[in-house]
């Protein structure tokens, strides 16, 4: 039996960020990722640079994989165009994940191609690793979440691909919120450095297939792939010696499906708490400060975005009312970012 202080299950943004922040605090870990390569899961690759006061650049500490910054997003509805000013970083997620792994490897061991099949009495199988703390960064279908006795995360579904020809302003991000394009969701057109990341997200799985084939017919793209995206409110995130981060914890801005920054912020808070336990040689493992930490930081915010998404897609049927509501949200968000980023 192999023993270690911390085992991280999952090498997406959440797990790699947890590894990086633990490494910076001198805490050793083993990270197990089932795939042999990074960025195996679909993503729009856009990062809202500043989320609940945390700056991506401060957390990430590198420029690798950041392709460009875009200040304006245009939302296209049946009733016109709305503008929202907010800093979005367009990235190569594959490179961002590789960079996080590079930083994490300073103190930890990253084992690719290692799938954890089961956890029995705190032992990871078939690896036979017994960690003092388990970090569940294993996404929407989290094994660690099941081990903790929590119900599965409720998910919608999203798919993305790359396009070179898009008839839209390439200096802005674009979101299309029209029933004729996606019911119960939206389409995005995000300009990267050389190509566009385009896709759709939909809160109802049953309508997804038909919507997606229509979208694919209309948009010339390649490399299409899909994945679940949490549309849930975060709940219990720790039990005995295990915690959840990222999608496994439903740490996602549910109304827009943005999970990269919440994953990183959650991982940062987790590392802070684990470092304190490590200093006492893990004699007492109380992980409740982790849950208090993220609840104080973004708990209310994430819950609000969850309820907004439900109201937006399930309750309001009129596209006109949605447009009006969105116009107000765009004004408020623009004002917020202008104020905090002193633009």
Name the site residues for ligand FAD (rule: CB under 6 A): 9-15, 32-35, 40-47, 115-116, 137-139, 143, 158-160, 199, 227, 229, 246-248, 252, 257-260, 263
Q: How far apart are CA 288 and CA 103, in angstroms?
A: 27
Helix axis angle, 260-279 relative to 13-24, nearest 10°? 40
Q: How far apart are CA 17 and CA 110, in angstroms?
A: 12
Which among 87, 85, 137 has a CA at the least distance from the CA of 259?
A: 137
Task: Give the nearest distance from C-beta 249 to ligand FAD in angstroms.
Answer: 8
Task: Give the nearest distance from C-beta 248 to ligand FAD in angstroms.
Answer: 6
Task: Give the nearest distance from C-beta 169 to ligand FAD in angstroms.
Answer: 18
**By the 8 A CB rule, do 149 and 237 touch?**
no
Task: Give the nearest distance from C-beta 141 to ligand FAD in angstroms.
Answer: 7
Q: Which is nearer to ligand FAD, 76 or 251 (CB)?
A: 251
Q: Which is nearer to ligand FAD, 262 or 293 (CB)?
A: 262
**By the 8 A CB rule, do 38 and 120 touch?**
no
Q: Which is nearer to ligand FAD, 54 or 79 (CB)?
A: 54
Locate 332 and state its tokens.
Answer: 């408020």
Q: Which is nearer to ligand FAD, 115 or 276 (CB)?
A: 115
Task: Give the nearest distance from C-beta 227 to ligand FAD in angstroms.
Answer: 4
Give the residue nearest to ligand FAD (CB): 259
Q: Which is nearer to ligand FAD, 198 or 330 (CB)?
A: 198
Task: Give the nearest distance from C-beta 160 to ligand FAD in angstroms.
Answer: 5
């Amino acid at each position: 039996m192999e023993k270690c202080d911390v085992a991280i299950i999952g090498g997406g943004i959440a797990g790699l960020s947890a590894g990086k922040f633990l490494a910076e605090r001198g805490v050793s870990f083993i990270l197990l990722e089932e795939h042999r390569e990074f960025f195996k899961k679909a993503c729009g690759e856009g990062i809202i640079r500043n989320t609940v006061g945390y700056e991506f650049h401060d957390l990430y500490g590198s420029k690798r994989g950041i392709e460009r910054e875009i200040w304006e997003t245009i939302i296209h509805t049946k009733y016109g165009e709305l503008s929202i000013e907010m800093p979005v970083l367009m990235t190569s997620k594959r490179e961002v994940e590789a960079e996080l792994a590079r930083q994490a490897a300073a103190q930890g061991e990253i084992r690719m191609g290692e799938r954890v099949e089961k956890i029995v009495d705190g032992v990871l199988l078939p690896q036979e690793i017994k960690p003092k703390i388990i970090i569940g960064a294993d996404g929407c279908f989290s094994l660690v979440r099941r081990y903790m006795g929590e119900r599965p995360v409720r998910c919608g579904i999203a798919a993305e691909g790359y396009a070179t020809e898009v008839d839209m302003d390439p200096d802005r991000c674009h979101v299309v919120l029209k029933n004729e394009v996606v019911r119960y969701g939206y389409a995005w057109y995000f300009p990267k450095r050389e190509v566009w990341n385009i896709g759709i997200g939909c809160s109802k799985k049953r309508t997804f297939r038909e919507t997606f084939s229509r979208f694919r017919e209309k948009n010339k793209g390649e490399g299409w792939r899909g994945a679940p995206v949490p549309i849930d409110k975060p709940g219990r995130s720790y039990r005995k010696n295990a915690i959840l981060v990222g999608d496994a914890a439903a740490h996602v801005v549910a109304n827009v499906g943005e999970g990269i920054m919440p994953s990183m912020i959650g991982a940062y808070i987790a590392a802070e708490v684990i470092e304190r336990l490590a200093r006492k040689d893990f004699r007492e493992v109380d992980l409740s400060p982790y849950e208090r930490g993220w609840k104080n930081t973004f708990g209310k915010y994430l819950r609000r975005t969850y309820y907004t998404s439900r109201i937006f897609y399930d309750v309001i049927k009129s596209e006109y009312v949605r447009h009006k509501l969105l116009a107000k949200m765009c004004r408020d968000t623009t004002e917020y970012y202008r104020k905090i980023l002193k633009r």
